[in-house]
Structure 1
């Protein structure tokens, strides 16, 4: 982005400020629903340029953020509870069902592939991956939770690994069955809350919890979108 702006703005610090302010402004427009689709497209361009410029610091959430912006750009989401809807007095709201179904298929594939990848290896089945995650060099839990006691209870790492595998691998099945949907939704949210609290991955957990709530929390018994 700095290279792109360099011919017009001969100041690296000013280019960064312009990028930050534009990114922030577009994010606000998406949140309040003022021409969200156009704002999401422009924000997606900035998001991708940011990822490509700092790929060494990417750990997955960046791609989920880009995908989230893609869905906002595709969906007529600013028909509902939006500033545009309020100012333009939109009465005939677009049907979000086809977009949500595509979104649901996407999230089911994402969890299944993640769970399948974990179960075919041994690092998650024996708890090694969980142990490594909380023992990364320089890692410090923000809540100052002393995890030394876990060394005397290795079964906790194994249980955490299998819990993650089961929730992800069977997500497409149980999240789409009405009787088990609520339970699986809460289990998935609990998984991401644990990731946030134990590994400090707040943004990643927030994005994934938002994906789950958006797709399945408002489903009624017939699998249709509940009206508010």
Structure 2
């Protein structure tokens, strides 16, 4: 059986590619509605968004005023086209830092200017774009790496661990706060929160009728509700337990939770960005489990000694 070599810093590639795909998906959803969403004559008028503005931030309305833009339709189309081109370049890893910076700036000015239209998804995209900018993601499965004169340059182990640890701590804080905040909710404690969520019209999807028929059983509904509460609250603890396959089980469970959110509640972009976050921070768990299996394969140790800078699947 042929061995497939994968860079051991695959999490950085997941981060870069996942963020780029997220941006392209966001553009595909919003491009036809940019005037409605983000022009000064759109659905959110200045007198509504202005009180929520952070005074020291740069926002899209500020840029429009500063540049004296008269044709907002053309400006928004050009801006989103640049956003898309930079996202494609980020996807393939060409001029990675420059394009990550452009994507971060464009997302930031839109995010800052229209708080009433932003959700948790936008905040997580902002954070991961920032990490993409400062982490050495251009060194993993990228055009930049292959055209660089320092093609064999490796990411130092201590540098890699430091950056990944930032992602891990950030993610653990996110899940702990999310889980802890639910502990005071009556519907979460009595096991009916999932039933209430899937019955809201704005969350209706093709899967809703099927899930309703299953979740109508009080036992199933309570299991889904308390399972979500358990996964979020205990994730920051169990993800560090190096006993058996606990880490892998909790990671798979949290990923499946987001798959459920995307499929059943229609929050696909939010679900996707969180899965990218999960795998960028803790995707190495799967690699370590695979390594345990490979170590038991005859001849693997000799192969590993010959190519110590690579991991294999």
Q: TM-score, normalised by structure 1?
A: 0.88
Pairing of 1:48-197 with structure 2 (within 5 A): 48-89=108-149, 90-95=151-156, 96-143=160-207, 145-149=209-213, 152-178=216-242, 179=244, 180-197=246-263
Gaps of 5+ in 1: none
- What is the DSSP-based 3-state SS (H/G/I as helix, E as strand, rest coil) of the residue aligned with 1:91? coil
- Measured on the aligned residues, the alpha-carbon RMSD in Å equals 2.3
Q: Which has the larger radius of gyration?
A: 2
Which residue matches 1:4? Answer: 63
Which residue matches 2:20? Answer: none
- Stretch deviating more after TM superposition (151-160 or 183-192): 151-160
Which residue matches 1:202? Answer: 268
- What is the DSSP-based 3-state SS (H/G/I as helix, E as strand, rest coil) of the residue aligned with 2:186? coil
8 Å CA contact 1:2–1:12 kept in 2: the answer is no
Once the two structures are TM-superposed, the CA of residue 43 in structure 1 deviates from its matched residue by 1.2
Once the two structures are TM-superposed, the CA of residue 20 in structure 1 deviates from its matched residue by 0.8
8 Å CA contact 1:78–1:84 kept in 2: the answer is yes
Question: In the aligned structure 2, how far is the partner of 1:125 from the partner of 1:98?
Answer: 37
- The C-alpha deviation readout for 1:46-83, integer Å capped at 9, x for no partner, is 11222233322322011000011011111011011111
Change (3 A) 1:52 1:132: farther
- Stretch deviating more after TM superposition (189-198 or 209-218): 209-218
8 Å CA contact 1:129–1:161 kept in 2: the answer is yes
- What is the DSSP-based 3-state SS (H/G/I as helix, E as strand, rest coil) of the residue aligned with 1:13? helix
Once the two structures are TM-superposed, the CA of residue 217 in structure 1 deviates from its matched residue by 2.1
Question: In the aligned structure 2, how far is the partner of 1:196 from the partner of 1:121?
Answer: 22
- Stretch deviating more after TM superposition (68-77 or 207-216): 207-216
Question: In the aligned structure 2, how far is the partner of 1:202 from the partner of 1:112?
Answer: 22
Which residue matches 1:212? Answer: 278
Q: TM-score, normalised by structure 2?
A: 0.66
Match of 2:97 among 37, 55, 65: 37
Count of aligned residue pairs for this structure pair: 225
Change (3 A) 1:174 1:51: same
Question: In the aligned structure 1, how far is the partner of 2:217 from the partner of 2:155?
Answer: 53
- What is the DSSP-based 3-state SS (H/G/I as helix, E as strand, rest coil) of the residue aligned with 2:165? helix
Question: In the aligned structure 2, how far is the partner of 1:32 from the partner of 1:113?
Answer: 34
Change (3 A) 1:138 1:122: closer
Higher RCO (C-alpha under 8 Å, 6+ residues apart): 2
Change (3 A) 1:147 1:99: closer
- The C-alpha deviation readout for 1:18-66, integer Å capped at 9, x for no partner, is 1111111121122111232232222112112222333223220110000
8 Å CA contact 1:32–1:83 kept in 2: the answer is yes
